[in-house]
Structure 1
């Protein structure tokens, strides 16, 4: 169908200029043919990459990545293939403080604001490019006052529609008895108003490919926003785990220092009385110094972690937060979802971002091809001019023009061909980067699964070590009360117990961190956000 704007232009032209020189049927046929030509778009049509054929994240046939992770005395975790990943996956740690902190970070962290702005910018750029599908209409009005030199003669406007004449004057020359200058200048007002319509038909789809590329860039920014949410949530939860681990380690080290100080006090007294050697005192002094040496780094780490949490929450380091974390305030998720490799490619924001960039690169090939074939344009102008404003659109003042143009580059030193080749290589690069992103994502999940299993066994061993150290300490304490062992032996058993607790805290933190890493590696469940919000809003 002929665009409405051209129908309006043609109506105006025939109404203003009922002349046989304007063949309305010819113009209409030309524009219809041009519109039909816009049905094609050169360049490759994008198709989504084929999902990988991998069915597991390990070459072994054992089902250890899907079977329950039994960790002996430690809490067990079960990996469930195909389970839905919650968009609020951090709630699996059952910490109200953590939930509040993540929500606050989403609202206040500037990286989210930057990602949202980037997405809006990409969408506006797409909308701007879509405007080239339509004609450009411009209106102008230019009043002027001009003094035309008498020497320019015939360049004056001449007879106006009201019968007046604007022209330079040729008087009688002095040689023939005249007294005035031979040529007299003329001063006049001039009003000109025009309506210009320009249209570049998208004959070979260059603009459609540009819009396609920009739409892909918008999708890329949308996935980058989801990646920003996922990364921010993962960083917040990881920082909370780090704080909890550090706090518990500080308490354990302080208990160890207290125990070492008591042991040193006993040894020094025994040395004074001649019941201990100086080498024993020195050994205990070394143990105390080593315990004291380990405390400042932990205190520094705690303060720096708190600084990190404040910044993640969008506040400055001088503003404290009410949320504080210990290992007891965080619960290890009992069940962890595990997506199949074929599902992973449609979940992870980085893979989808790489796919969007691949789509954009494919469209740019079409843009480069379209630049090498004929370019079409149509321009029309309606308007009028006169020496009086009210007379611009009298029949004598009306003007119009209609121009079509076809341009084809015949020689450019190979520039356009090289740009097409560059676009094709850009597509090859995007394809390689997509494959690399997919492989890295699979490795990320595989590494996390290995860590989950290994750290579960480490946790179980740490639990057994703590149990053995606690039993040894309790038995030593009973023997001390009965007088069978010295107080120094009791303090040594207590120190061994505290050292075992330090290892256990670190093992617990590692397992919590592995859970966070798996949720992040699987994409974080952002695609379920809308469904979960609808479920929460449904009447109970």
Structure 2
């Protein structure tokens, strides 16, 4: 059977219904002075002081970028990173998303909630002051004599828990760290939406290039079909040649139609990201290429966005530039502060209270001197037995901190992997695109030569079909490679933090806290 124990409290208090000459006894004043000095001089914060978890980071990345030394310019927080692509439509879309995206709005509301929670924790450092006023009418019975009387009261009361062991300070520290973590979450959500929008937009533009490629291919195949039909009618071509030309034309038309589904889905996704209904949003396609345009040059010229060259910096930069890493680090700091809150429960709490006012049976005499009342007291409370509850809370807080540290380190490792992956992808795609450009030129030359040979009657139409299919495949691969490079470049910017700076965000958060909360009283100073 568990026997419940009450919280044992020691208190010192004085209360007087005063006369003008009444004063609190000297001993009571001396006792209160001793308690106040003990509270002010004995303040300390129990629990471990926070130190950022150590990480064994490499000096440089394993992968190298496909750029020349010192040529690229590092993305920073002074210029929106998406402007590096040089596409005004993309700039406008991301501006709209920053203002209207609902995921960002949700994260912003959660950040405001975290700020309010942190302010609530800091408010506990201050005394609580209240005003009370009342009027009552009641009947009493004393020795058989019943009396009906009125009572009027008015007064002020105040109480303050002296943060001797730092429980409140640790709670405020945890609240501030949680608010900073929420600010980093907001930055991470904003960066994720911006990167997703940029990738969707760039993929849509690449889809436009693919559609234009297939439109030009359909026109070329239609001319080939007409040529083959005329030669068949003249008796210089086989019926199978006409069938092959028609099959090739219909297959290209089917691929062109299929690209509409891809483009529509990307357009709908962009509409959602900028906070609009798909029916109220549309993007005009890129300009069509002319017959005189070179295929590879035409893609680069008609695509407004250009591929930027952005270095990844150093692995240690990720600790300050990635908001998700900053979020994990701040959560670890909050968990560390919660250990102090749990350990402070082992020590007694000291609460100082005071009240003063007037109490009178007649309202007209309420503020007269004989009705003046006041009290001044202190209460010291300590739990003697709780069945191991405090120990369990301390163990839980320590385990939560260990989990937060592990999550922080895993987030750092994940960030390093993302940077390495995208550096590798960009390096490989850069090499591949150069080779693919040569393949496109060779395939287009082979296509032209095969058509001339067919017109001269030296090869069958099967050779023309084969070279045309090869040329189309290589041109499509070149466009796809361009899209993959653009998407990977956005992913690299996102992996390196998109120009976000933890120091700038922390300074902004500190400024917000300073303007929203007055400076702490002496007991709150560490």
TM-score between the two structures when normalised by the length of structure 2: 0.82
Shift of 1:270: 6.6
* 1:197–1:379 contact (8 Å) kept in structure 2: yes
2:192 aligned to 231, 235, 248, which one?
A: 231
Query: Cα RMSD over matched residues?
Result: 3.2
Contact 1:260 1:495 in 2 (8 A): no
Secondary structure of the corresponding residue to residue 310 of structure 2: strand
Structure 1 residue 206 and structure 2 residue 167: aligned? yes
1:482, distance to aligned residue in structure 2 (A): 5.7
The Cα of 1:139 is off from its aligned counterpart by: 1.0
Aligned to 1:41: 45
19 and 249 in structure 1: CA distance in 2 versus 1, 3 angstrom threshold: closer
Structure 1 unmatched runs, 5+? 1-8, 59-63, 70-76, 155-167, 170-184, 532-540
Offset at residue 205 of structure 1 (A): 0.2
SS of residue in 1 equivalent to 2:134: strand
Cα 1:437–1:79 shift into 2, 3 Å:
farther
Residues 269/358 of structure 1: CA separation in 2 closer, same or farther (3 Å cut):
same
Q: Which residue of 1 aligns with 2:518?
A: none
What CA distance in whole angstroms lies between the structure 2 residues aligned with 1:36 and 1:56? 49
Structure 1 residues 15, 45: closer, same or farther in 2, change over 3 A? Answer: farther
Q: How far apart in 1 are the matches of 2:170 and 2:248?
A: 71
1:177 counterpart residue number: none
Check if 1:28 corresponds to 2:18.
no
CA distance in structure 1 between the aligned counterparts of 2:38 and 2:461, rounded to whole angstroms: 103
CA deviations on 1:230-285 (whole Å, 9 max, x unpaired) are: 11221121011111111111222233344445555666677788766676666555
Equivalent residues in 2 for 1:37-186 (5 A)?
A: 37-38=42-43, 40-58=44-62, 65=64, 69=66, 77-78=67-68, 80=70, 84-87=74-77, 88-146=80-138, 148=139, 152-154=141-143, 169=145, 185-186=146-147
* Cα pair distance change 1:375/1:271, threshold 3 Å: same
Measure, in 2, the Cα distance between the counterparts of 1:323 and 1:35. Answer: 70
Task: Check whether the contact 2:357–2:372 (CA below 8 A) recurs between aligned residues.
Answer: yes
Larger deviation, residues 356-365 vs 280-289: 280-289
CA gap of 1:351–1:50, structure 2 versus 1, over 3 A, is same
- Structure of greater relative contact order (alpha carbons < 8 Å, 6+ residues apart): 2
Indicate how the Cα distance of structure 1 residues 191 and 324 shifts in structure 2: closer, same or farther if over 3 A, else same. Answer: farther
Summarize the alignment of residues 188-337 of structure 1 with structure 2, pairs less than 5 Å apart.
188-263=149-224, 286-321=247-282, 328-333=302-307, 335-337=309-311
1:180 maps to: none
- Number of the residue aligned with 1:445: 419
Question: Which deviates more, 18-27 or 394-403?
Answer: 18-27
CA contact (8 A) 1:93 1:332 kept: yes
Rg comparison, structure with higher value? 1
Match status 1:512 vs 2:486:
yes
Mapping 1:316-395, distance limit 5 Å: 316-321=277-282, 328-333=302-307, 335-395=309-369
Asked if 1:525 corresponds to 2:499, the answer is yes
Measured after TM superposition, the shift of residue 95 of structure 1 is 1.3
Deviation at 1:57, TM superposition (A): 2.6
Length-normalised TM-score, structure 1: 0.80
Asked if the contact 1:65/1:79 (under 8 Å) is kept, the reply is no
Question: How far off its partner does 1:393 sit?
Answer: 3.6
Q: Is contact 1:192–1:385 with CA below 8 Å preserved after alignment?
A: yes
- Higher mean Cα deviation, 206-215 or 239-248? 239-248
* Correspondence 1:18 to 2:7: no
In 1, Cα distance between equivalents of 2:503 and 2:397? 37
Equivalent residue, structure 1, for 2:475: 501
Q: 1:22 offset after TM fit, Å?
A: 6.1
Q: SS of the counterpart of 2:53?
A: coil
CA distance in 2, matches of 1:351, 1:82: 25
Cα distance in 1 for residues equivalent to 2:173 and 2:83 = 38
Instruction: Report the Cα offset of residue 186 of structure 1.
Output: 3.3
Deviation at 1:352, TM superposition (A): 0.8
* Conservation of the 8 A alpha-carbon contact between 2:204 and 2:263: yes
Instruction: Report how far residue 499 of structure 1 moved.
Output: 2.5
Is 349-358 or 189-198 further displaced after alignment?
A: 189-198
Which moved further from structure 2: 489-498 or 349-358? 489-498
Q: How many angstroms apart in 1 are the aligned matches of 2:212 and 2:157?
A: 79
> Relative to 1, partners in 2 of residues 1:98 and 1:474: Cα closer, same or farther, differing over 3 Å?
same
Aligned-partner Cα distance in 2 for 1:32–1:197: 19
C-alpha separation between the residues in 1 aligned to 2:501 and 2:321? 7
Gaps of 5+ in 2: 1-13, 288-298, 506-526
How many aligned residue pairs are there? 476
